[in-house]
Amino acid sequence: MSRTDVSIKTHKKSSLNEKTKEAISGYLYVSPFFILFAIFGLFPILFSFYLGFQKWNGLGEMEYVGLQNFKWVLTDEIFWTSLTNTLIMWVLGTLPQLLIGIILAYALNSALIRMKSFFRVSIFMPYVTSTVAVAIVFGIMFNSQEFGLFNVIFGLFGVDPISWGTSWWGVKVAISTMVFWRWVGYNTIIYLAGLQAIPNELYEAAQIDGATIRQKIQYITIPMLRPIIILTVFTSTIGALQLFTEPLIYIGRTYREEGITVVLYLYREAFSNLAFGPASAAAIILFIIIIIISSINVLIANRIGR
């Protein structure tokens, strides 16, 4: 974040009056977010935080219980299972998205191909496909029985049917595949917008200097794309740690241990067990974990291409 700030400061040559005007404009332009957030976002967050210290079933009276909810969550094996699951599915489902997303965007951006629009639209389609359809389709593909699509394919190579719906790795692989499938196009489109903004002159100049494709990627593409890469790493990390829709689609309301994520865990506590206190405590703990991991992530991503 700091690079542009510095450049603005050094380029400052206007009067104090100009500076004040700029500051006023700045506050004015960012204010809608904060006003809307104050109305619609702040109260729910404070409410969740407050609930973390209460016992509440959603309908009756609240009762202050101190740190009891946090103790319950932190000593609950299933909570830790859900955290492990979330992290594993992050590695399996989300990290590959970013890599494949860049590769696909690069391919779509290259002058080699025709029918760009067709490919672009197709690759983005999973983001558009409704979850009802995704649930049914993936249910058929990852069917645990012998006739399940993936089991048929693996069967050709002599692999025994895998129980995608119940085994420790089966569930995770199935959910991660769904996550990967649903979001890779989304990331591709974002990278593509970044790639297309890189001026051709840079590549042409490099071409003249006899740079290889690898060198062009390393010294032009990656540095120019850095702000976008930071963005995707940051948002996809948060998305992965808040993974909810895909496991809910795949394991449904059985909340199976093999596939339960942290958000699914807190959702179960709140809306199925009516234990809003522990649910809020879990939300707060997750929030802290996300802050820590995102900070580390941004630090690492900041180094890319430097």
CB of 112 to another protein, least distance (A): 5
Confirm or reject binding of residue 196 to another protein (CB under 8 A): yes
CB of 157 to another protein, least distance (A): 19
**How many residues belong to the site for another protein (CB under 8 A)?**
137
Instruction: Choose, by CB under 8 A, the member of 74, 91, 99, 140 that binds another protein.
Output: 140
What is the rounded distance in angstroms from the CA atom of residue 173 to the CA atom of residue 126? 18
The separation between CA 236 and the C-alpha centre of its own chain, rounded to angstroms, equals 3
Instruction: Choose, by CB under 8 A, the member of 86, 143, 151, 176 that binds another protein.
Output: 143
Question: Closest CB to another protein among 91 and 136?
Answer: 136
Question: Closest CB to another protein among 203 and 219?
Answer: 203
The C-alpha R_g of the chain, in whole angstroms, comes to 24
CB of 213 to another protein, least distance (A): 6
| Cβ-based neighbour number of residue 234 at 10 Å | 14
Site for another protein in 62-101 (CB under 8 A): 72, 76-78
3-state secondary structure of 274: coil
Confirm or reject binding of residue 40 to another protein (CB under 8 A): yes
Strands 63-64 and 54-55: antiparallel
What is the rounded distance in angstroms from the CA atom of residue 137 to the CA atom of residue 143? 10
Confirm or reject binding of residue 137 to another protein (CB under 8 A): yes
Confirm or reject binding of residue 54 to another protein (CB under 8 A): no
> Which DSSP symbol is given to 220?
I
Closest Cα partner for 264 from 278, 274, 275, 253?
253
Confirm or reject binding of residue 211 to another protein (CB under 8 A): no
